[in-house]
Structure 1
Amino acid sequence: MIKFFQGVTIVFLLFIIWIIFSANTGGNNIFFEFVNWLPFGDKIGHFFLFGCLTLGVNFAFNFKKFTFWEVLPLGTFLVSVFVLIEELSQGFLPNRTLDVADLLADGLGIVSFTFIGNVLSKKGFFGLRVTNK
């Protein structure tokens, strides 16, 4: 089952990279049209995109935790660093704007889906269990 989560997570990460590339280059697609039509669609999108990515990465890593800090799953840390770099880079791009509300929505999604993932993994969701290795 881990291989399945790894594959789905890689595909989802590629989807997010495509969205970021499209936004950075000023492209327009059906995803952006839907987000713009939906009230608070941008913030909802940030919440769910990076929350789901966090959930997928954590399951793909079987909720591996840092050996020196066993509270934070490795996947949550990696997605958080990715999000922080991506959001801060927007301040340097002409087609993008650095928005603290986007960063807040990203963070809320990451925290929420880390919690959901921890609950699911402790209950043995799809046979996965939290490991500290």
Structure 2
Amino acid sequence: MSSKAVKVSALVYAIVFLTILILAYTGNLPTQLDFIPYLDKIGHVILYAIATYLGHSLFGYRRLRNGLPIFPLLFAIFTIVEEAVQGFSPNRTLDAIDLVMSLFGIGLGYQLAENGNKRRS
């Protein structure tokens, strides 16, 4: 994906991601798909994998001196804090499985971005 395509995709996806967060915190997520068991868990993996893939690509696959990838690390910290904050929201629930699925998505997105970067090198 070209640099411009990554930037545009990341911006559009950030808007979508933030919209989903706002809808969730205000209790306005659509309920039409609630009949599918564990769809929210699958959604966590997909949402966080795409965000990490785009973010890691946007950050140029940069790492800290100790080798940790910058975007996935920062996004994982954000995810842990955001999940903890849900315990204080009347419209959200603190759910350890959601956190695990989100972190799995971050790992998956990181791996996919790294694999794509290696193919381009």
TM-score normalized with structure 2 length: 0.91
Aligned to 1:101: 97
Q: Which residue of structure 2 lines up, in the alignment, with residue 26 of structure 1?
A: 27
Match of 2:66 among 64, 69, 75: 69
Give % identity: 29
* 1:23 counterpart SS class: helix
**Runs of 5+ unmatched residues, structure 1:** none
How many equivalent pairs are there?
Answer: 120
Amino acid at match of 2:22: F
SS in 2 for 1:123: helix
User: What are the equivalent positions in structure 2 for 1:1-133 lying under 5 Å apart?
Assistant: 1-29=2-30, 32-34=31-33, 36-66=34-64, 68-70=65-67, 72-124=68-120, 129=121
Q: Distance in 1 between matches of 2:35 and 2:112?
A: 28
* Contact in 1 for aligned 2:86/2:93 (Cα 8 Å): yes
CA RMSD of aligned residues (A): 1.3
Assess, with a 3 A threshold, how the Cα gap between structure 1 residues 28 and 114 changes in structure 2: closer, same or farther: closer
Q: Is the 8 A contact 1:46 1:105 kept in 2?
A: yes
- Distance in 2, matches of 1:101 and 1:60, equals 28
CA distance in 2, matches of 1:106, 1:75: 14
For 2:102, the aligned partner's letter is D
TM-score normalised by the chain length of structure 1:
0.83
Structure 1 residues 1-10 or 54-63, which shifts more? 1-10
**Structure 1 ranges of 4+ moved more than 3 A:** none
Q: Residue deviations 1:44-103, cap 9 Å, x none?
A: 00001011100000111121111x211x22111121122112111101101110000000
